[in-house]
Structure 1
Amino acid sequence: MERARITGILLAAGRGRRFDPLGQRNKLLQPIDGEAVVVHSARHLLAAVPRVVAVVRPGEEGVAARLAALGCEVAVCAEADCGMAASLVHALRHAAEAQGWIVALGDMPHVRPTTIAALVRAVEEGADIAVPVYENERGNPVAFGRRHLPQLLALSGDRGARGIVRDNIVNEVAVDDPGILLDIDTPPDLQ
């Protein structure tokens, strides 16, 4: 399977209410090491896969512009408020021809490109689902092979693909990357 056939999906359409309950500061645009959180997440994904579909919510032109400038295909999801599954399904419809997908989160800027590349290899080598594991704990992103596309497209609500991962055989990929467990949920997480 050629690398171009594995597509990255960057979910960047959440409201981030735990970060800012009033909705005045988008956590994805907050700086870490001089760049927005979402820029780090996208760069790491783009370093491992040639194509990334980034899902944003309507009205988030700042996030969309940064992602487009990096080379991501930006897909605006009008149903983003329906939950993470709506954003994932929206992205999958834009990349349904791929042979597999790496589903990454825009608020996880510390995931290393080498981890993402290891997940790509796992799918290329036949894994239907691959998850990274650091010190016996599963994290993100998650990779899916084409076999699960019908199940992924049928998702709804805010649970994303968690149930698919729970109910199927998963290839655990051991990584030396604590970033798979670190997301930006609150302002102290930016430190």
Structure 2
Amino acid sequence: MTPIPHIGAFTGILLAAGRGRRFDPSGERDKLMAALDDGTPVAVAAARNLLTVLPHVVAVVPAGCEARARSLEAAGCRVTVCAHADDGMAASLVHGLRASLHAQGWVIALADMPWVEPATIASLVDAVDEGAHIAVPTWQGERGNPIAFSRGYLPELLGLRGDAGARSLLKTWPVTEVPTADGGIRRDIDTAGDLARGADA
């Protein structure tokens, strides 16, 4: 059953600026454009999961990845190019935030995690709507992605630097854990062998 899109002031930020060097050290094959079992590119599948729930999704891509940018735009994302993406994940995140400063909250997702269920994303937004400032999903007692933030943490998010990303804030600020039955929150794609849905997590 497809969840009803969540109506609210939340924006999704899809971090799609990674180079995927573990996937293909030569840099010739774009991990985020690699096809899953059903032929959908990895990043497009991740974007669709967000767009099922959130009416606005900002996809952050690096310079020089035109095919990636076009595919995400066609999927329904607002694409923005981060010239400093190679400085680390925080640079891409801050870039995406600055492109959506109007939002009342954000769901920050990784483009190499295509199996997160839309229902999980909706549950994170609901948790923040109900008073949580940071909401993170769990599966079998382990935290995963994406992460939802209320607007109250915007200054801390904009102050991030390096490759730590938003997860570094989870070590110092109160976090609401949202239990799920969604193993996709713990599955990313590092190698070509990870592309099959039935691959080991």
- TM-score, normalized by the shorter chain, greater than 0.5: yes
Whether 2:16 is the aligned partner of 1:12: answer: yes
- 1:134 is aligned to 139
Stretch deviating more after TM superposition (101-110 or 162-171): 162-171
The CA deviation string for residues 155-174 of structure 1, in whole angstroms up to 9 with x for no partner, is: 11011012211111100000
- Matched with 2:181 is 176
Superposed displacement of residue 136, structure 1: 0.2
Structure 2 distance, partners of 1:89, 1:75, is: 12
Cα separation, 1, equivalents of 2:94 and 2:184? 25
TM-superposed CA distance for 1:123, in Å, is 1.1
1:26 and 2:30 correspond: yes
Aligned mate of 2:77, from 69, 72, 83: 72
**CA distance in structure 1 between the partners assigned to 2:79 and 2:60 by the alignment:** 6
Which of 147, 152, 162 is equivalent to 2:152?
Answer: 147
Is 1:47 matched with 2:16? Answer: no
Q: State the 1:37 CA deviation.
A: 0.5
TM-score by length of 1: 0.97
Q: Which residue of 2 aligns with 1:100?
A: 105
Q: Percent identity?
A: 58
Q: Secondary structure at the match of 2:53?
A: coil
- Given candidates 58, 63, 74, the residue that maps to 1:58 is 63
Distance 1:17 1:4 in 2: 36
CA apart distance, 1:3: 3.2
Counterpart CA distance in 2 for 1:3 and 1:147 is 20
| Structure-2 residue corresponding to 1:124 | 129
Q: Distance in 2 between matches of 1:132 and 1:173?
A: 5
Distance 1:117 1:162 in 2: 19
* The one of 171, 174, 186 aligned to 2:191: 186
Aligned pair count? 190
Normalised to the residue count of structure 2, the TM-score between the two structures is 0.93
Distance in 2 separating the partners of 1:42 and 1:131:
18
1:80-132 deviation digits (Å, cap 9, x = unpaired):
00000000000000111111000000000000000000001111111100000
Runs of 4 or more, structure 1, over 2 Å off, are none
Where in structure 1 are there 5+ consecutive unaligned residues?
Answer: none
Task: Give the Cα–Cα distance (whole angstroms) in 1 for the partners of residues 26 and 39 of structure 2.
Answer: 24
Matches of 1:72 and 1:144 in 2, distance apart? 19
CA displacement at 1:4 relative to structure 2: 3.2
> What SS is found at the alignment partner of 1:96?
coil
After superposition, the CA RMSD in angstroms is 0.9
- Whole-Å separation in 2 of the counterparts to 1:12 and 1:163: 19
The CA distance in 2 between the partners of 1:116 and 1:145, in whole Å, is: 14
